[in-house]
Amino acid sequence: MEKRACEFEGAIHSAYRASIKGGVAETIVQLPTHNDSEEFSPLHVAVITGQLHIVQALLEQNVNVNASDSSGKTPLHWAAIKNNPNALRALLSNSADPNVSDLNEMTVLHYLSMINTDTDPEIISTLLESNAGVYTKDKYGNTPLHYAFHYSTQKFTHLFLDSKALRNNLSIADASGSTILHCAAYKGNESIVIQLLEYGLDVNTSDTDGKTPLHWASQKGHLKVVRC
């Protein structure tokens, strides 16, 4: 009986994956909702493989839009990671929660803030408009804001700073006691440093090693930042 159940589960998901990759929406919506061994739901698979019409067909069937896979990631996590703004918008318009955390307590914004190549800025904008938590800390004590300033290109850091709603708590520190001014000084982003100073961030704030943003700029040889 157990073997037959496993075979049945495998057959269902083989049909799911074949139908999703083949774009057969009619087949998908007629199959029962079932997760595979990695806890990927059909919606996860449709998002990951970039089949927007399958995503939309599944959403019309009122599937669980916030279902988590074995790593705790929702379809929304994967829409962001796969750089798919259309799927992301579709999920958000169907009540996907942008603040769900995975097993590392990381939200969609945490991952996006670490991906600095070919990411559509519209994804960040859409999430910010959906009240995604910029100050949420993961299990390592880091926020999306800190990841953005440490890893991302300037177009994303400017995108965060252009949101007036985010300017109230820019001095928040990460697990190492660093503010985003520390991160910008470390990276040598002169224009960002100037903007942060205009927003009132304290240049004398020390991290857990006792270093200020000026220490980091000096250590990394960023003369223009030092002169700010």
Q: Per-residue pLDDT tens, the chain, 228 aa: give them.
A: 333 323 333 434 554 555 545 545 555 555 545 555 567 888 998 899 898 988 998 999 889 999 999 999 999 999 988 888 899 999 999 999 999 999 999 999 998 888 766 677 778 888 888 889 889 999 999 999 898 888 866 677 878 888 776 777 888 999 899 999 999 999 998 989 999 999 999 999 999 999 999 999 999 999 999 988
Query: 1-97 and 104-228 share one CATH topology?
Result: yes
Tell me if residue 48 falls in helix, strand or coil: helix
Which residue ranges make up each domain of the chain?
A: 1-97, 104-228
Per-state percent for the chain, helix, strand, coil, to nearest 5 = 55, 0, 45
Superfamily the domain 1-97 falls into: Ankyrin repeat-containing domain (1.25.40.20)
Q: How far apart are CA 44 and CA 157, in angstroms?
A: 29
Nearest 5°: the CA angle 186, 190, 194 is: 110
Q: What is the pTM of this model?
A: 0.77
C-alpha to C-alpha distance for 53 and 182, rounded to whole angstroms: 44
pLDDT for res 27: 55
Cα–Cα dist 203/29, whole Å? 56
Query: How many Å apart are CA 131 and CA 151, to the nearest integer?
Result: 22
CATH number of this structure's domain 104-228: 1.25.40.20
Measure the CA–CA gap between 208 and 101, rounded to whole angstroms: 26
